[in-house]
Amino acid sequence: MTQDFAKRNNKASESRSPLHGWAWFFTGLVAGIFISFLVYLWIFVPPNPVTADVREIPKAEPDQIVKEMQYDFYDLFPNSEVPIVEEYGEDGEKVESFSYLLQAGSFRNSNEADKLRGELILLGLDAFLSEKDLDGNKWHRVMVGPFDTDLALNRAQDKLAQAEVEAMPMKIRQ
C-alpha cells in the first residue's frame, strides 16, 4: 500500500496551541518577579525601630569657629630666590667645574674595542677610544661623553642599559 506523505495529517502539530508558549512565559515572569520581591524583603528590610539600637547623631558645637586657610605661598613664591651653590675647596678657592665620562668597556684587543665603539656611535652616543697602560699591559677603553650635566649622563646611561652595555661613570675636571 502506498502512502502520500505530502498530505499526511500530523496530530502532534495540531494539538499544540500558540497559547501554550505564552502561558509558560507568563508563569516564569511572575515567578521571577516574586523571587526578586522575596530577595528584596530579605536584604533591604529596615530593622524594627523598637528593637533597633538607637544612636544619637552628634551635633556641631556652635562655639567652635571654623578658621579659613591662609595661603601664603602665592605671595612667597614670586618673591623667593634660589641661591646658587658654589663649591669651594679646603683652601677657600673655588673648585673647578666637573664633567662626566662613561666607561662602556675595556679590552686588550683594539678590534673588540673598536667594534663596541661603532655600536655606541650607531646608538647616537659620542664614543671614543682611550689607551691606558696598566702593569705593562695595554688596555683599550671605550669612553662615552663628556657630559656636562647629570641629566645628560643619566640619559646616556639609560641608552646603554637598553643596549645591555654596562657603563661606569667617571668624574673628571674640565
User: For the residues of 12-69, what is the DSSP string, one character each?
Assistant: HHHH--HHHHHHHHHHHHHHHHHHHHHHHHHHHPPPPTTTS---PPP---TTPPPPPP
Yes or no: domain 98-173 corresponds to CATH 3.30.70.1070:
yes
pLDDT at residue number 152 = 86
- Given a cut of 80, is residue 80 above it in pLDDT? no
Residue-range domain boundaries for the chain: 98-173
- Given a cut of 90, is residue 166 above it in pLDDT? no
Q: What are the distances in angstroms from CA 168 to CA 37, 98, 141? A: 72, 16, 11
- Among 39-43, 55-59, 124-128, the minimum mean pLDDT is found in 55-59
Cis, bond preceding 18 (omega within 30 deg of 0): no
Q: What is the pLDDT of residues 83-128, one digit of tens each?
A: 655 666 566 566 567 788 888 888 888 888 889 888 888 888 888 8
Q: How confident is the model at residue 36 (pLDDT cuts 50, 70, 90)?
A: very high
pLDDT at residue number 146 = 87
Three-state secondary-structure class, residue 135: coil
Cell 533591604 -> residue: 44
Question: Which pTM was predicted?
Answer: 0.44
Q: What is the pLDDT of residues 61-76, one digit of tens each?
A: 666 666 677 766 666 6
**Cα separation, 54 vs 143, whole angstroms:** 78
